Structure formats: structure tokens, C-alpha cells
Amino acid sequence: MTVTTSSLPIPAPREDGRRRKARRTREALAAAALELVLRDGPDEVTVAAIADRADVARRTFSRYFGSKEEAALDFVREDGSRINALLRERPAAEPPLVAYRRAVACWLTDRDTPASHHRPGIRALLALLDGDPALFGAYQRIRVDAQAESVAIVAARLGVDATRDPRPAVAVDSAAAVLTAALRMWAGSAAVAGPEGPDGPDGPEGLDDLTALVERSYDALMAEAAHAAGHEAESARRK
Amino acid sequence: MTVTTSSLPIPAPREDGRRRKARRTREALAAAALELVLRDGPDEVTVAAIADRADVARRTFSRYFGSKEEAALDFVREDGSRINALLRERPAAEPPLVAYRRAVACWLTDRDTPASHHRPGIRALLALLDGDPALFGAYQRIRVDAQAESVAIVAARLGVDATRDPRPAVAVDSAAAVLTAALRMWAGSAAVAGPEGPDGPDGPEGLDDLTALVERSYDALMAEAAHAAGHEAESARRK
């Protein structure tokens, strides 16, 4: 078998021993927090139990996370950083909505840095959000911060000031809202259908396939916007 | 002067004495919470001080609100209810994005039931959100709940099941994201410019005029979507 250079995974930036150790500690704490929150419910989990499970001291936890919710949602925060890294790499010719949509598609299908939606726990975690105010607040904080970074990236692409020109925020926030809506439907369909779904692993009407659902949702945004623009042009013509 | 029936304000549903008293108590508590949160900062305000200011007993507060943040943000919750009531009244022929946009425009310009953005405190309150986790969480809760209701209204208009068809959530969440982005810019421009703005009451580039900013933001969404659809059609053609 011949492996061409271009098919090799892009090497990650060099990481010294200390950074690698810090990254692994963070990952161990996040994995322990997610596992315990899903097993026992967010209210029952303590920071001490998370630290214990990750085999680190209690005070080590506070060096990485401000709360157990933040730790359990660290994979969601990573998704946001990954989407923003991919957004920065999109060709300058792509309009903001296209660039955001394609960054999301790359994140969902990347095999080298798997998106957290491959982790079965993430879907269950998203389904828990609505019932737990602290988890909900932490999730919204992560979402709003990631979107603020996306707005800055898009403003730089367009060469405009995002505090005066609404275009970067409008493009990012509507594109991100479509992703969030798709994630909510995806989490909700699992909650309704159970882990295997009523029709087997693919669930009802393919809602279990997040990548297909996200594509369908972006297509719906384009169709809705075209429909709205057509309607507004027609009502302006009639006046 | 002749007043035709259709130009008269729609009468509010009849309210008996007990309901009217409950509404007034709620309004007094919400106004007191907003005033104290803005004067002293969210951390310094107690439920007891809010009840005292509104001239009701401490236990009365708990009958209306779960927290001081919920009380201070009650005007935001009312805005959501009002937008949803107006969305229900939009003609069936309007596409969802148009219906939502026009419901928002009616809410912003209605003189009979003034939107809370006429209250100077609301802008200062929105500018406080990012720095206060409890206020931020309560705001996101109100926003998400109002949008869930909008999604149900749009799904009923379209005659589809919103748990399986992404169109209602995509239309509502993107349209609501545009409004939220405009509100954030509006609050931010006041924070930067001060109450009177550097160029007087209208502020820099008209950002102080929320109605104009919201219209400009919806126009930006339509333009971005058309730009994106054109780009995607072009890249599909080249393949």
C-alpha cells in the first residue's frame, strides 16, 4: 500500500512534556466529570468525586475548571474552538454563512480530531441541559463565548468593525443558531427514542445522523431566506 | 375628527379585580428589582430589599418570582410573550422569517403596549448580562423558553412536527438570533458611548435607534443568505 504525503494526518503543533501533561490532566478531569454527571445526575456530583475519579488532588481541579458543570461541558467548549480554528482556515472568497457552514461540516466529519458528538455521552448531556439551571447556564456561556470569537473572525475576514456593522454578528449568530437547533433536535430525538431509537440505530427519519441533519438544517435556512426575500419583494411590488 | 373602528386599539381581555391586583404586584416587584439591580449591582441586591421597595411582604415575592434575576428580567420575558402574541396574529401567507420579523417590528413600534426598550434601564441591564453569571443564565432561560414557544407557533402555522422537521426551529432560531445580535450591539453601543453617546442622543451611526438597527440586521440576514446561496450554486456548477 502506498501512502501519499497528502493523505497523512497533519501533525499537531509540537507540545512539550509539561503541556502534554496539562492537556491530559484536563482531559481526564473532563471525562470524569462527564461520566459522573451522566451516571449520578448533575446535583449529586461533587468536585472531590471528579478529582478522585481522575486521580488528581482536589486543588488541581480548580487550576483547570471553575465548576463541575464547566468540566462536564469541556468537550462542548473544545467543539467551539475547533469550529473557530476551521473557520479561520476557510478561503477568503467564501461568504460568511458558507464559511461557517463548511467549518461545521469539516468539524463533524474530521476523522483526525473527532468531534465530541462521536462520544455517546454528549448526546445524553445535551438532553440534560434543560432540566439543570447550572448546566444550562454553563452551556450558554460556552456557546456565547465561542460565537463572540466567530464574530471577531468574520469581522476580520470582512475588514469591518463588528461593534458598528451588524453583518458579522448576523451571519455568525444565525448560522450558529441553525447548528444549535440541529443539536437540540438530535439530542431530543435520542431522549424520545432511547439509545437505539425505535427503528434501530438510525432512529426516526434519520434524526440520529447529526451530519445529515445539520446539512438539512442549513438547506432549510437558505430556502427560508429565499422564500422570505421573494415574499418581501412581492409585497413591495404590490404597494 | 372621525375615528374608524379599525384604528381603535384592540381592547385588552377583561381583567377582574384580583387579577389586576396580581399584575400590579408583579409589575411593582419587577420595577423594584430592575431599579435596585441597576443602582447597586446584581450581587448587592437582596430579595428582602426588592419586596421592601415594592411594599409587599418577603413571602409575596416567592409567589411571583424564583429569584431576583428573574424579577429584574421580567420585562424581557414580557417582550418575548408580546412578540409571540404578535407572531400568532401574522397572516398565514407570510413565510416564517417574514412573520417573525414583522412581529418584532410591531413590538418595537407599538404605542399601546410599549416594548421594554423604551425603558432606559433595559439597555443598561442588557449591558450588565455578560459580567453576571446568574443574570446571564436567567436571561438565556427566558430567551430559550420564548423561542421554544415561537417554534411551536411556527410549526402549527406550517402544520409540521417540530421534533422531526427542522424548518420551524431553523426559521425561528435564526430570526431570533438576529434580534438578539441587534439588542447586544444596541446595549454595547450605549456602554461604549455613555447615556448620551458621543454624537448626542442618536449615538454613533444610528446604533441607538433600535428599530432601525433591527431592520438593518434583518436586511443583512437576507443579503447574507442570498450571497451564500449564490456562492453555493456557483461552486456546484463548477464541479
The predicted structure's pLDDT at residue B3: 39
The residue among B205 and B148 whose pLDDT is bigger is B148
Task: For residue B40, count other CB atoms closer than 10 A to its CB.
Answer: 12
Contact A169 B189 (CB under 8 A): no
Residue A10, pLDDT > 80, answer: no
pLDDT the model gives residue A191: 64
pLDDT value of position B110: 87
What's residue A200's pLDDT?
Answer: 43
**Range scoring the smallest mean pLDDT among A136-140, B2-6, B221-225:** B2-6
Amino acid B111: pLDDT: 80
The complex's ipTM works out to 0.86
Cell numbers that stand for B212 in this block: 432601525
- How much is the pLDDT for B213? 94
Residues of B in contact with A213 (CB under 8 A): 166
Smallest Cβ–Cβ distance between A185 and the set B169, B176, B192 belongs to B169
Does residue A203 register a pLDDT over 50?
A: no
Q: What was the pLDDT predicted at B116?
A: 77
pLDDT reported for residue A16: 85
| DSSP, res A207 | T
pLDDT of residue B35: 95
pLDDT at B4 over 60: no
CA distances from B119 to B34, B79, B133 (A): 10, 12, 23
What is the pLDDT, as a whole number, of residue B155? 98
- The CATH H-level superfamily of B15-68 is Homeodomain-like (1.10.10.60)
* Res B150 pLDDT > 80: yes
Q: Is residue B59 scored above 90 in pLDDT?
A: yes
Distance CA B111, CA B224 (A): 32
Inter-chain contacts counted by CB atoms under 8 A, chains A and B: 153
Considering the segment(s) B73-238 as one domain, its CATH architecture is Orthogonal Bundle (1.10)
User: Residues of A with CB below 8 A from B105's CB?
Assistant: none
Q: What's the CATH superfamily of A16-67?
A: Homeodomain-like (1.10.10.60)
Count CA within 13 A, CB hemisphere, residue B88: 7
Q: Return the domain boundaries, chain A.
A: 16-67, 73-238
CA distance A27 to chain B (A): 25
**For residues A3-22, average pLDDT:** 66
pLDDT: is B100 or A236 the higher one? B100
The string of pLDDT tens digits covering residues A154-182 is 999 999 999 999 999 999 999 999 999 99
- CA B71 to CA B32: how far, in whole Å? 9
